Structure 1
Amino acid sequence: MDKSFSSAAAAVADIPDGASLAVGGFGLVGVPIVLIRALLAQGTADLRVVSNNCGVDGWGLGELLREGRISRVIASYIGENKDFARRYLGGELEVELTPQGTLAERLRAGGSGIPAFYTASGVGTMVAEGGLPWRYGPGGEVTVKSPPKETRVFSSLGSPKEYVLEEAIVTDYALVRAARGDRHGNLVFEKSARNFNPVAGMAGRITIAEVDELVEPGELDPDAIHLAGIYVDRIVELSPDEARDLPIEKMTTRPRPAAAASAAPAPAGTDRNEN
């Protein structure tokens, strides 16, 4: 079955207002930015997003956030997105913060047909006991809190230990970014861009992938496939310009060895201007 679409706009055209979305990426790495911008362009609103984070100010999911298109987020952290923090603390956005490993497993479980699982992460904290602020009111008061979760003691891994029950996540749609894909939907991710993309793709009832390169079925090494085509419903090949839109989250530099040597103090009794 050929799952390729001619454009990102065509691939996301049926995503309605109020839809839930699992979105791949970590920081600015592996973010399905072209599909996100197609959603932005068609005006889809009241989106309930599940993603490791919500992009940065003005890029990635931050573009949808800036326009007020997202109403709820399940994420691991707010990060450095000041707009995300402002909207959450100002009561414009409901946010369910979840331990990062738990979030990954909730998505994987959803894609695997596992309704819930027990984990030690969060035991003895508000994650398990409830009371985490999900939504604030205009005056800074907490209007929606997380509920308490079921806990249970197991000894199957050694000494008795308490675990908290976490429910799986299944979303209406999923958006992911891959380096290569074939027309059957099989995907290969590039290095750290693999991050949350495979589990996000598993969790969507309809999963849409944007890829840097689209190849014919049989061209991908079966042992190299990270997400099988059974999980992917639509695939869009990016143009070279779209594929190159990869901003750097934090620019760091260091002096080159030659530059560092030239900047070092001269030994006593020497003159840098000597020939």
Structure 2
Amino acid sequence: MIDKTFPSAEAAVADIPDGASLAVGGFGLSGNPIALIQALLAQGTSDLSIVSNNCGVEDWGLGVLLQAKRIRKMTSSYVGENKEFERQFLSGELELELTPQGTLAEKLRAGGAGIAAFFTQTGVGTQVAEGGLPRRYDGAGGIAVASPAKDVRTFDVGGRTGDYVLEEAIVTDFALVHARRGDRHGNLVFNKAARNFNPLAAMAGRVCIAQVEELVEPGELDPDQVHLPGVFVHRIVEVGTGIEKRVERRTVANEGV
């Protein structure tokens, strides 16, 4: 039997070196692999290049690594909930590769599927394709690093001719993901919307580390209910069902409305 379990989050991330690239699951704070993130923070790993939909908030999710200045570059589609992210980016301390959300998802999936690149209409006619998006500022209001222009080609798809921009796949050194349940072989089941970017991030990492709320024995998961097969997962650690989960913004209706 292939037993991929690790005794703790700390043990699971212990060999992630300075300068590593990571694909990290989550959408907002939903589905964040917070135990693995905190373990990475505690061991002092720095100079990280992280691919994730966003960067958490100041005191939770990937925001804790950002606050400690452990992140060199973020590849994300949304960064609007983190004031420290804004400060570091505008001051030139942080590099940002801003990517349309669907394109980011497909870049991760393509990397995991062994597809080198793909063409999409998303971004055609904008700086996404034409280049010039700020990736790093110089600290004085100028652009130190800008995005390059991308290859654009014309295709006839189903009788409709249009331009498409070439997007390259993403493969990272490691992936950190969160799942509701998993078995010792690494098969994972996610909980509703907490699935989000987690399967895609898992696929893109050369070494995928999964934290699960409940660890079960092989055969206990219904094969038809498995969302991500264990072939994509290399390490798995149980963090318990009582792990803290935060919400970015809680909105409730006024009484009687």
Q: TM-score, normalised by structure 1?
A: 0.92
* Contact 2:33–2:177 (8 Å) recurs in 1: yes
1:41 equivalent in structure 2: 42
- The residue identity in structure 2 corresponding to 1:248 is V
The offset of 1:79, in angstroms, is: 1.7
Residue number in structure 1 paired with 2:33: 32
Distance 1:61 1:249 in 2: 13
Residues 65-84 of structure 1 aligned to structure 2 (within 5 Å): 65-84=66-85
C-alpha contact (below 8 Å) 2:214/2:241 kept by paired residues: no
Q: Which runs of 5+ in 1 are unaligned?
A: 261-275
Separation in 1 of the partners of 2:57 and 2:23? 17
Pick the structure with greater CA Rg.
Answer: 1
Counterpart secondary structure, 2:64: helix
Deviation, 1:166, is 0.1
CA distance in 2, matches of 1:38, 1:13: 8
1:206 maps to 2:207: yes
**Residue 235 of structure 2 corresponds to which residue in structure 1?**
234
CA deviation string 1:237-261 (max 9, x = no partner): 01344x2x0112111122344xx6x
User: 1 CA distance for matches of 2:157 and 2:29?
Assistant: 39
Deviations 1:74-110 (A, max 9, x none): 0001121000111001100000000000000000000
Q: Which amino acid aligns with 1:251?
A: R
CA-CA distance at 1:58 after TM superposition: 1.1
Question: Identity of paired residues, percent?
Answer: 65
Aligned to 2:136: 135
Q: How does 1:1-275 map to 2 (within 5 A)?
A: 1-241=2-242, 243=243, 245-257=244-256
Distance in 2 of aligned mates of 1:239 and 1:99 = 34
C-alpha distance in structure 2 between counterparts of 1:254 and 1:125, whole Å: 39
Question: Deviations for 1:39-96, whole angstroms, at most 9, x for unmatched residues?
Answer: 0000000000000000111110000000000000000011210001110011000000
SS in 2 for 1:181: strand
Partner of 1:272: none
- What is the distance in 2 between the residues matched to 1:136 and 1:8? 35
Amino acid at match of 1:207: C
* Distance (Å, rounded) in 2 between the aligned partners of 1:70 and 1:158: 45
Q: Which sits farther off after the overlay, 217-226 or 169-178? A: 217-226
Counterpart amino acid of residue 246 in structure 1: K
- In structure 2, the partner of 1:273 is none
CA distance in 2, matches of 1:256, 1:143: 51
TM-score (norm 2): 0.98
CA distance in structure 1 between the aligned counterparts of 2:4 and 2:187, rounded to whole angstroms: 10
> Who is 1:268 aligned against?
none
User: 4+ residue runs of structure 1 moved beyond 4 angstroms?
Assistant: none
Give the CA deviation at 1:158: 2.1
Structure 2 stretches lacking a partner, 5+ long: none
2:121 and 2:33 map into 1 onto residues whose CA distance is 32
Counterparts of 1:165 and 1:246 in 2: how far apart (Å)? 37
